[in-house]
Structure 1
Amino acid sequence: MSVEKARLVEEAQRTGTLANLPRGHFISSHFVPSVSGREMESFDPGRGAAFASFAAGDGEDVDRAVAAARAALAGPWSRLSPAARGEILMRASRLIAERAARFAVVETLDSGKRLAEAEGDVAGVVRAFAYYAGAADKLHGDNVPLGSDHVGVTFEEPVGVAAQIVPWNYPLSTAARGIAPALAAGCTLVVKPAEQTPFTTLMLAELLHEAGLPEGVLNVVVGTGGDAGAALVAHPGIDHVTFTGSVATGQRVMRSAAEHVTRLVLELGGKSPVVLLADCDLDAATEGVIEAIFENAGQICSAGSRLIVEEAIAEQLLDRLVARAQALRPSHGLSDAGIGPINSPAQLARVAAHVERARAAGNRILTGGAIVPPEACGGGWFYQPTIVQAQGPDDPLVQEEIFGPVLTVQIVSDFEEAVAAANATRYALVAGIYTRDHARAWRFARTVDAGQVYINEFFAGGVAMPFGGNRKSGFGRAKGMAGLRSYCKLKSVVARI
């Protein structure tokens, strides 16, 4: 453990917080209080206690932020070359790497996730800014052959002012994967982090200003979804919205954006299948399944929350998974052991309600299935790592996103039944398969409806691979060059010569 990381962990464990956390909105490159003067608290899920307060924004604060972003869109930022934008992003990447320990500890306090997971997120953010720094001057249109009398070209232009609605489960990662490509494309931004997890997004905005962003290019408004998020999505000064969250909220975002015909990228829910065929490497598959569902206590839209396993290996595999799940102990994220907490009491209650309905319907609880008493885990909000064998494909346990450390098991007889089961929900975000038969693996990849498919690994690919879903999992793509083009509008020009 580095000296700085050890110092920050000690401070957080001793005091329950960290000094000098940002409290205001970040507008026109300055931290400012809400127009209303209101504040709200942020809670440490590992202790179940407030550790800091921050500004509670509303429509007036959104108006200020959008005005700043629109002014910056017409200012010096619009005259910077793509290479110069890339240089700013690369400086930001280096600064994030230098301050990685503080970002990780703050992320753990705010979201609850294990410190090692937060450190992985920060490393991904460093990589994301470096990736888009390199891509900024490689975004170009095409020369279209129209014959000897005409020249046809296309241009990729910044879409304008982009709004980002960031979720609470991966606050820093999700903010970065939208901010970095939007800046590389030449957009300006207004970002609204989740009210449960505002701090690392505010820290990132301040750091980007230090890296050289002109005034007003990146603005952050903090507050609830109802007060600040809804006002941002509905604002006529917004040209594009990237939203990550639930299906129900995404539908409301679509309806609101339709009023001004605002462009959208939606990354919504998932109920992602992990298929294990009888010929798989059982050791690798077991570890992959455990990581796919219990990382971040299962609070991942792309979590491998449905295990679809061939009958021939089901008993042996489930014995292994139950033993591994029972060995995971609830622990504060800063201890970096076991499994971390659920982000909020409301989410904890939702997870518990899903499992209780499954129990009442006759589904077989193989392990877990209960809230951890607060006195047994330092007062935090924890749910036992849970594995449930589903009765049938139509059970809500199979069809509904739980967003917690709950693995649903479906046992199938062969490959064809596994593919049918994988496609049998309204979601289509990611899917995974473990098998030694690469022909069947690639057949699965072609047949399954998912935005991203993993073969013999889960959560693979990084920032270079486009990410997003189909059907009720949303549309549009983040990451990769596809994510960069999400923040562009295509212009065609034809000249007669």
Structure 2
Amino acid sequence: MTVEADRLAAEYFDTGTLSGLPADHFIDGRWCPPVHGRTMETFDPGLGRAYHQFAAGDADDIAAAVDSAVRAGRDWARTRPAGRGNILARAAALLREEAPRLAVIESLDSGKPLAEAEGDVAGAARTFEYYAAAANTLQGDSFPLGHDYLGYSIIEPVGLTAHIIPWNYPLSTAARGIAPALAAGCTVIAKPAEQTPMTALLLAELLHRAGLPAGVCNVVTGTGGQAGAPLVRHPAVRHVSFTGSVQTGINVMQEAAANVTRVLLELGGKSPVVVLADADLDAAVEGILGAIFENAGQICSAGSRLVIDRRIHGEVVSRLVERAESLTIGHGLRRPQFGPLNSVEHLSRVAAHVEGARARGLSILTGGRPTMDPQTGKGWFFEPTIIDAAPADDPVVQQEIFGPVLVVQPFDTEEEALALANGTDYGLVAGVYTRDFSAAHRLARDIDAGQVFINEYFAGGIEVPFGGNKMSGFGREKGLAALDAYSRVKSVAARIGG
């Protein structure tokens, strides 16, 4: 993968773009230009410049995709689960074959380091592989109604599903929603974020090449207001999977409510990493660094709060500062350790959070300023930042920054650690580092989060259900639990006589 990916990266730096990038929607098994001919630009965050144009869709493009998906839905729902699984397995193989190109495009569109993008593509392939097998697990139950009755349930696809995909993990998030939806027999219309549309379009075309019938998976690009909102409110859509901000998630719920459309929301996070005094500090430091500085902190489940025993606070924070200051910063395609933020608007938002903390007198141990790629003097970068000893009610503790900003909260007792961990409106994930088995599982039991990692942040994989509590949303993606989101139960009870 490395040789081909590096060749493509060189092509980009030589020409300013890449050949073969999609410019149209993918509807009904083919590339379709926007109905009204409007286009918009996608940007390279590492250089802060546009590098390609793509379709700016609206309600008419959504209507065309809905018509296609509805036509395809009846036959796809009746396709044998093993047949659906075979197509998903072929898609997994194609993802692996085309991994270098997909990774380069993902890195270019989102800004993330190429090594991280390569991991995302591998994870997407594993997702389709997993749900290829899981398609055969959908089965109903029988009910004990007595000798004269027969009772059983049938698992049915919910129908047409809408997927609103965020900009931080475009391919990963598309895969984790689209794969189980297809496995369950649903049709799909995806609307990727306007900042990162490329890999969702390429995924839809790849699925078609894998044998997915025309119309089963469609991708319409454009803004949330022009394309996303008409999709969410369309009466033919029976399920919406949304990943994004809390406020936009609330808006999605309100739009979907008019048609009593079910929703799955994966929203914000302010996740704690709790480190007890007996923890393996080498493992904890590595885990904390990855939890907050991977993808420049632009992760819903980022470990953005370090809740740490005061007895080891000084040593751990000192090591974290040293490591943060040593991270290599640069354009994602040059394989740095730390890449840019996704947009100039988001860079301004992150900077405003940190400037507010500075104005309130908080201790910023390292970072805290916008910066640039040292090789080019360009791009939308923000320094890896650590803010120490923030009060529990401070905005940098309570609000999601969605950037490379770690907030440190010391504690003296396990009870205080638990209170701090649960002390925000969010409940997406949490991390715990300790050698004490009982303490680890007490905290895992009592922390209000949808997922808890013990002694390795981001532990697990596609097999582990993922989703939030409180303002972090509801519903679960990944694992077999994801199939429930795209399925409905029909019960049958029959008197058969004696």
Common fold by TM > 0.5: yes
Which runs of 5 or more residues in structure 1 are unaligned? none
- The DSSP-based 3-state class of the residue aligned with 1:239 is strand
In structure 2, how many angstroms separate the alpha carbons of the residues matched to 1:214 and 1:112?
33
In structure 2, how many angstroms separate the alpha carbons of the residues matched to 1:495 and 1:479?
35
CA deviation map 1:53-96 (0-9, x unaligned): 1000011101111111111112x323310000000000000010
- The DSSP-based 3-state class of the residue aligned with 2:212 is coil
Shift of 1:473: 0.1
In structure 1, how many angstroms separate the alpha carbons of the residues matched to 2:241 and 2:121?
21
- The DSSP-based 3-state class of the residue aligned with 1:279 is coil
In structure 2, how many angstroms separate the alpha carbons of the residues matched to 1:434 and 1:458?
9
Shift of 1:415: 1.1
In structure 2, how many angstroms separate the alpha carbons of the residues matched to 1:413 and 1:374?
40
Letter of the 2:15 counterpart: T
Residue in structure 2 matched with residue 302 of structure 1 by the alignment: 301
Letter of the 2:42 counterpart: S
Residue in structure 1 matched with residue 20 of structure 2 by the alignment: 20
- Quick check: 1:185 aligned with 2:203? no
Shift of 1:149: 1.4
Which runs of 5 or more residues in structure 2 are unaligned? none
In structure 1, how many angstroms separate the alpha carbons of the residues matched to 2:152 and 2:186?
22
Figure out how many residues of one structure are paired with residues of the other and give that number. 496
Residue in structure 2 matched with residue 347 of structure 1 by the alignment: 346
- Quick check: 1:60 aligned with 2:71? no
In structure 1, how many angstroms separate the alpha carbons of the residues matched to 2:459 and 2:202?
27
Residue in structure 1 matched with residue 140 of structure 2 by the alignment: 141
Does the 8 A contact of 1:44 with 1:109 survive in 2? yes
In structure 1, how many angstroms separate the alpha carbons of the residues matched to 2:354 and 2:101?
36
Does the 8 A contact of 1:242 with 1:266 survive in 2? yes
In structure 2, how many angstroms separate the alpha carbons of the residues matched to 1:96 and 1:259?
37
In structure 2, how many angstroms separate the alpha carbons of the residues matched to 1:4 and 1:355?
39
Does the 8 A contact of 1:362 with 1:391 survive in 2? no
- Quick check: 1:201 aligned with 2:205? no
RMSD over aligned CA atoms reads 1.0
Residue in structure 2 matched with residue 10 of structure 1 by the alignment: 10
**Normalising to structure 2: TM-score of the pair?**
0.98
Runs of 4+ in 1 over 3 A off after TM superposition: 373-378
- The DSSP-based 3-state class of the residue aligned with 1:460 is coil
Letter of the 1:88 counterpart: I
CA deviation map 1:82-124 (0-9, x unaligned): 0000000000000100000001000000000000100000010
Matches for 1:169-184 after TM superposition, within 5 Å: 169-184=168-183
Q: Is the alpha carbon distance of 1:116 and 1:374 closer, same or farther for their aligned partners in structure 2, counting shifts above 3 Å? A: closer
Letter of the 2:411 counterpart: V
**Normalising to structure 1: TM-score of the pair?**
0.98
- The DSSP-based 3-state class of the residue aligned with 1:463 is coil
In structure 1, how many angstroms separate the alpha carbons of the residues matched to 2:139 and 2:417?
42
- The DSSP-based 3-state class of the residue aligned with 1:462 is coil
Shift of 1:373: 4.3
CA deviation map 1:250-292 (0-9, x unaligned): 0000111011000000000000000000000000000000000
In structure 1, how many angstroms separate the alpha carbons of the residues matched to 2:302 and 2:309?
20
Does the 8 A contact of 1:330 with 1:377 survive in 2? no
In structure 2, how many angstroms separate the alpha carbons of the residues matched to 1:368 and 1:2?
31
CA deviation map 1:427-483 (0-9, x unaligned): 000001000001000000000000000000011111000000001000000000101
Q: Is the alpha carbon distance of 1:41 and 1:84 closer, same or farther for their aligned partners in structure 2, counting shifts above 3 Å? A: same
Shift of 1:13: 2.1
- The DSSP-based 3-state class of the residue aligned with 2:42 is strand
CA deviation map 1:388-440 (0-9, x unaligned): 01431000010000000000000101211101100000000000100000100
Does the 8 A contact of 2:390 with 2:397 survive in 1? no
CA deviation map 1:24-69 (0-9, x unaligned): 0001011111111000000000010111110000111011111111
Does the 8 A contact of 2:189 with 2:218 survive in 1? yes
Residue in structure 2 matched with residue 323 of structure 1 by the alignment: 322
